[in-house]
Amino acid sequence: MTAPAVSISGQDADALGGDDSILMRQRRDHARLDAMMNRYLSEDLPPGDRNTLWLDVVQLVFSHAFAEETVLWPLLRRVAPDGEELTRQVEEEHQAISELVARIERSPDDPRRAE
């Protein structure tokens, strides 16, 4: 019998391989991205800072996705019985994000960009 899956969100750094492990780095990326997106949506953000923050968000999103796809997903596919399905779902999400970013980048003056 296999043990039930445990989310990494509730585990400490030691259980995830230490502060410099890929899992801890990815978890920190999630928290940083959440904070960046909340700041982007803030009415207090000066208009000139919005574009700089957007570039930072895009950089983080793509470096994060690259780490998942090149380091985590190959391992997950080997060790998890449903690894293929899990990674396929996230890869589809990554593709949708890539397409959205490309569409936004093609139209930087579109008033819907902030949305």
Give the tens place of pLDDT for each residue, 16-26. Answer: 888 988 889 98
pLDDT in tens, 59-90: 999 999 999 999 889 998 999 889 899 899 98
Residue 40 has pLDDT above 80, yes or no: yes
Question: What is residue 31's predicted lDDT score, i.e. its pLDDT?
Answer: 94
| pLDDT range class, residue 5, cuts 50, 70, 90 | low
Helices 83-106 and 47-67 cross at an angle (nearest 10°) of: 150
Inter-residue contact 106 to 99 (CB < 8 Å)? no
Cα 112–chain centre separation: 22
Cα 25–chain centre separation: 11
Where is pLDDT greater, at 48 or 88? 88
Question: What is residue 111's predicted lDDT score, i.e. its pLDDT?
Answer: 73
Residue 11 has pLDDT above 60, yes or no: yes
Residue 4 has pLDDT above 70, yes or no: no
